[in-house]
Amino acid sequence: MTLGKVIDEHRLVVCVGTGGVGKTTIAAAIAVGAALRGRHAMVLTIDPARQLARALGLAAFTGSGEQVAVEVWQDAHLNPTGSLAAAMLDQKGAWDAFIRRHAPSDSVRDAILGNPFYREMSTSFAGSTEYVAIEELCRLDESGQYDLIVLDTPPAGNAIDFLRAPARIDRLLDPEVANWLTSPYATIGRKAWRAATGGVRFVLRRLERATSAQTLREMSEFFRAFEGLFDDIARRSKRARALLGSSSTAFALITGPREDTRAETEALVRGMQDHGVQLGAIVVNRVHPFPGGHDLINAPLDEVLAEIPDRDVAGWLQRTYALACSISRAERKRLDTMQSKLRPGIGHAEIPELPHDTHSLNDLVVIADSLW
Amino acid sequence: MTRRALALALIATILRAVLHIVLGKGGVGKSTVAAAIALSAAKRGAQVLAIELSPPAGLARLLGVSPIAPGQAVEAHPGVWLSFFDGEAALAEYLLQTFGLRRLLNRVFAHPVYRAFASAAPGLKELMAIGKVRDEVRKRRLGGPLWDTVVVDAGASGHALQYLRMPQAAAGAFGGGLVRGQSVAIDTMLRDPDRTALHVVALPEEMPLAEAEEVIEVLRHELNMPVARLVINRCREIAPPGTRDLIAGLNNLGAADLDHKQVRQALHDAAVDALVWLDIQERGIAETERHVKMQATRLPLLQPEPFGLEQLGQLAMALEGN
């Protein structure tokens, strides 16, 4: 099945993958291709390069999203029947906006926004970027402005983090944790919980003394202020899970053809299975096709090289060609093995490497065309 | 001294450092460079510890061993040991050392409030992990240090900078206490070019080079850490003069039968592709060298398979200036 077909059949495409494989570019190309085919697409990126903004004719990516202007399409001699918007995830801004939307009063809002624990959590808590990306996704989905949303996920070392994010935030913002922190002497129920409680308090206090930080106090102040928001968070979290698990959502794995990405990719596929997520498509980016299109076997290579008058050039040519072939051969073997392991019905695409970074809208169209 | 003698003297200085930290964008070959540094030190007779600051990944694959528990060192080759550190485990170990009380602590570690605290206390896990690296550098055996060389694969640049930044941040954030003292000591070690060498790895392509420049900028001006060297991995062989003209006329040379034509087409395509990448490579490296005011160490693009000890040895030679 082509990747294009998978995209045509879904409203939401989540691009996951390890770092350095060109995930953001592929996410953008998917949205460009869909816009050319009549969809009203939005691509939500995490950490886009300036070149990508330039390719889409945007001065910069913003948190709220920008439409790609008609003139930009025209300059590239393209005439989309749909439309394309692009946004960048502004992690801090998105969390703050979330607090502003849900805080029951101005004083609660200010207490949370000014809390050091909140500031730390909203910028660097593991899973925080992922969580707020999912939250933004829900918002874009609810806006009803787009019939396709493509989400680029954070360049985490381990892309499974993305799937774990809602559970992690749930755990952190667990009312039981809040209870424990806000009402120190209340009876909290479960026996095991109580047994550990004294120890936890002891260790955390000592750890605080060692670090002379005030994390514990900040945490309990944060949770006290946050109490009114717990129901909202729980509701959003449930909605996010429903959206990610919905049949209109497809997960696309973006990977590379090199050996070093293979192990990470396999771990990712296993992790997705463990989380009950069906893989919708695999895109292998930056594949090196054989020079001339084929692996030439028993070809008169030496004869042709002997005809070249300059021995230095002939030598360079021979080494360059041999290296290119050995790269293509190794990739082909690896990709064939990978493909044979895929369950039928998974979308599959290979994108040949472009000899430069994505500089123009037409570069994205070239990639998109190899997806459909 | 000649330029080459100067370069070799510089490399000799770099190699004398005990701690080598390798960082760079995802997919540029950090682990490969770290493994090559480790093997080259071992070849000179050093006892080497290679460390991954993540669950066993690239280094484990390249060296062909995989430690099971964090902190455990496994011998991969004569003189080269591999270990991995995990921030959360390092924090737990720190607490166990400080308090004892293993049974109580194991319950504490499973507690959601502890977990929330450990995740949220600013950079505590990163600090503990880099602290473990310092512990290894300081370990002694009879008559000398346990390790002559410690090589750290610090992971993708964003996260790697986090490890390097933490000691400074912690020294500032924690008013007093035990952690502050240790943070200052770690930071001093990281900033001392006689003890620590930072290797920034990039590929000869636009984006990885741009990111390497940014990383070097942050290291030098924000963290005040000297960069020992910029390593450009997977460099292509420079084409001899006259290549372009020859390639342009290649299809008109020699026999006209299909087989020969096909070969010429394939050679032509391979050469044109390589020349485009060479342009990007040479322009990019020259520009980056100018921006960061240092000469890059080039590592050759090698056959992807087999990739093993022999290939790592070739890269080690290139790192040593041979």
Residue A218: pLDDT band by 50, 70, 90 thresholds?
confident
Contacts of B268 in chain A (CB under 8 A): 292
Residue-level length of chain A: 372
pLDDT for residue A196 = 53
pLDDT for residue A210 = 64
Cβ within 8 Å, pair A211-B179: yes
Which residues 247-266 of B have a C-beta within 8 angstroms of A? 247, 250, 253-255, 259-260, 262-266
Contacts of B305 in chain A (CB under 8 A): 259, 326, 330
Residue A211: pLDDT band by 50, 70, 90 thresholds?
low
> DSSP secondary structure string, A47-71?
S--HHHHHHTT-SS--SS-EEPPHH
Chain A with chain B: Cβ pairs closer than 8 A:
225
Question: A40 to chain B, minimum CA–CA distance in Å?
Answer: 30
Q: State percent of chain B over pLDDT 70.
A: 95
pLDDT for residue A252 = 93
Residue A193: pLDDT band by 50, 70, 90 thresholds?
very low
When comparing pLDDT for A224 and B74, which is higher?
Answer: B74
pLDDT digits (tens, 9 = 90+) for A92-112: 888 898 889 888 889 989 988
Which residues are CB-contacts of B131 (< 8 A; sequence separation ≥ 6)? B90, B94, B182, B186
**Closest Cα in chain A to B178:** A210
Q: Is the pLDDT of residue B264 over 70?
A: yes
Instruction: Kindly state the helix (H) or strand (E) to which residue B23 belongs, with its residue range.
Output: strand B19-24
Of B197, B148, B151, nearest to B47 by C-alpha is: B148
Q: How many CB atoms lie within 10 A of CB A78?
A: 14
Nearest-angstrom CA–CA distance, A182 and A103 = 18
Q: Is the pLDDT of residue B151 over 60?
A: yes
pTM of the predicted protein model: 0.85
Cβ within 8 Å, pair B269-A292: yes
SS3 B153: strand
Question: B175 to chain A, minimum CA–CA distance in Å?
Answer: 6
Choose the weakest-confidence range: A147-161, A323-337, A341-355, B120-134: A147-161
Cβ within 8 Å, pair A211-B170: yes
Nearest-angstrom CA–CA distance, A14 and A31 = 12
Nearest to B117 among A219, A313, A356 (CB): A219
Which residues 182-241 of B have a C-beta within 8 angstroms of A? 205-207, 236-237, 239-240
What's the mean pLDDT in A85-97? 87
Residue A156: pLDDT band by 50, 70, 90 thresholds?
low
**Closest Cα in chain A to B177:** A210
What's the mean pLDDT in B46-58? 90
Mean pLDDT for chain B overall: 88
Question: B261 to chain A, minimum CA–CA distance in Å?
Answer: 9
Q: Is the pLDDT of residue B129 over 60?
A: yes
pLDDT digits (tens, 9 = 90+) for A258-310: 877 777 777 778 878 887 787 899 999 999 999 999 898 888 899 999 989 89
Radius of gyration of chain A (CA): 25
Helices B124-138 & B177-191 angle (0-180, nearest 10): 60
Contacts of A174 in chain B (CB under 8 A): 112
Choose the weakest-confidence range: A30-34, B233-237, B309-313: B309-313
When comparing pLDDT for A63 and A101, which is higher?
Answer: A101
Mutation choice for A interface testing from B62, B95, B97, B267 by most A CBs within 10 A: B267
When comparing pLDDT for B98 and A137, which is higher?
Answer: A137
Which residues are CB-contacts of A21 (< 8 A; sequence separation ≥ 6)? A254, A255, A256, A261, A285, A286, B26, B27
Contact with chain A for residue B6, Cβ under 8 A: no
Residue A186: pLDDT band by 50, 70, 90 thresholds?
very low
The 3-class secondary structure across B41-81, one letter per residue, is: HHHCCCCEEEEECCCCCHHHHHHCCCCCCCCCCEEEECCEE
Residue A340: pLDDT band by 50, 70, 90 thresholds?
confident
Cβ within 8 Å, pair A292-B99: no
**Closest Cα in chain B to A51:** B207
What's the mean pLDDT in A37-66? 86
ipTM attached to this prediction: 0.88
Q: Is the pLDDT of residue A25 over 50?
A: yes
Contact with chain A for residue B36, Cβ under 8 A: no
Q: How many CB atoms lie within 10 A of CB A371?
A: 24
pLDDT digits (tens, 9 = 90+) for B174-219: 655 667 778 889 999 999 999 999 999 999 998 899 999 999 999 9
Q: Is the pLDDT of residue A323 over 90?
A: yes
Contacts of B29 in chain A (CB under 8 A): 260
Contacts of B304 in chain A (CB under 8 A): 258-259, 326-327, 330-331
